[in-house]
Structures are given as C-alpha cells and as structure tokens.
Chain A
Amino acid sequence: DAKTTQPPSMDCAEGRAANLPCNHSTISGNEYVYWYRQIHSQGPQYIIHGLKNNETNEMASLIITEDRKSSTLILPHATLRDTAVYYCIVRGSGAGSYQLTFGKGTKLSVIP
C-alpha cells in the first residue's frame, strides 16, 4: 500500500513555480521521501529525495516539514516539458522495503 497521499491533478502556469504537495503522516524515522515523475509512456525520472532536511538540485527543491509528515516538491519555473505525473514515494524501513512503491501520483499540467 502506498504510504503517501497526493492530489490527483494540478495546473500551473508556464514560468510560475509549481508546488506539489504530498502527505506522508505515517512516515517513520528512517524512511526517505522520494520524488519521481513520468512523462507519458516513458520511464519514471528521478527528481530528488530527502530524509529530513530540505534539499535542492538542478531540477527542483524538496521541502520537508519539521515533523516529516508532509513535503512539497517545488519546480521553480515550470515549463511545458514539466507536464507529467509526479510521484511522491516513501521508501525504507525494514527488510524487503527497498523497492519503490508507486501510488497514483499527481498529474501536473503546465499551461501556456
């Protein structure tokens, strides 16, 4: 069972920041939050992951709340090519938990 809750869809204007929320209220101390995205019919693309500190890379920023029960993926300047399904995944905790368990994700539509 997916351990995360995401809105099914979101719209974002091109050039604006896209903020994608994720709720993971049952996350445990050693579990990481991962974000992937999948553009139609392609393989999922790794974006970013974190444990408890905020993280930033060339693609996005990940903001994790202090209690770690939710996080937000930020795409600072969304482009049309960012239109995709975004998956928030909690990973870890115990043997056999190394695989990625995908939920339904958020379908982000970037609008011109």
Chain B
Amino acid sequence: KAGVTQTPRYLIKTRGQQVTLSCSPISGHRSVSWYQQTPGQGLQFLFEYFSETQRNKGNFPGRFSGRQFSNSRSEMNVSTLELGDSALYLCASSPSAGRWSYEQYFGPGTRLTVT
C-alpha cells in the first residue's frame, strides 16, 4: 500500500506571496492532519480534517487554512507569506478521526523556504 504523498517536496516563495501544498493520504484513510516543523518550535499541529470537515485546529493565525476533498486528499494554503513561515510542512493520515487509539502515518513533507 502506498504511503502518504506530498507535493511539491521543495518550494521557494517570496514574502507576501501565497502557497498551496497538497497531500494524498494512504488509501482508505479518511483523516488528514497537518503539522509545521521548525528548528525553534519543533513539530506543531496545524489542523485536522475528516470527511471534508475541519475537526481540530492548532494555534496558528488565519493565514493558514486547509481543506479536504471527497477523495480524502487535502490541501493547505498559507497566504501573505512571512519569513517565519519557512518550515517543513508535514501531512499525516489516519484511518479515522477523533480516536486517539489510531496511529498517524506521516508523509515526507514539503520544505518551504520564504525569502
């Protein structure tokens, strides 16, 4: 079974631009979560989607948004990019949502650099 895939793997953007990252979960998984990883803050939870609905959200500004499609694929968008948004963005999929007995499987991440 194929793992979680994320595109693109690397991205360079300029301050003020916006960016859209894509995530395809493991086949059959319906929950997708997004995380941001920076050297200073570590891994931080952004949001979780299940059945096209955002079920949980971390402490990030409204510039960070996401959505999930009917095939469980997910996108996250960051508008008005700031230098501090440079990070590794990770997507994780899980068979279901709202159950802490389910493990999450991570993709390889998208490395975003904002200049």
Contacts and interface: CB of A to CB of B under 8 A. Distances in A.
Contacts of A46: 103-106
A96 interface: yes
Interface string A24-64: 00000011101000000111111001010000000000000
A26 to B, nearest CB: 16
Interface in B67-115: 88, 90, 92, 97-101, 103-109, 111
Interface residues of B, number: 27
A97 interface: yes
A74 to B, nearest CB: 18
Contacts of B103: 34, 46, 49
Interface residues of A, number: 25
B108 A42 contact: yes
Interface string B38-51: 00001111001000
Interface of A: 30-32, 34, 41-46, 49, 51, 87, 91-93, 96-104
8 contacts: A34-B103, A42-B109, A43-B90, A43-B106, A92-B100, A98-B48, A99-B56, A100-B45
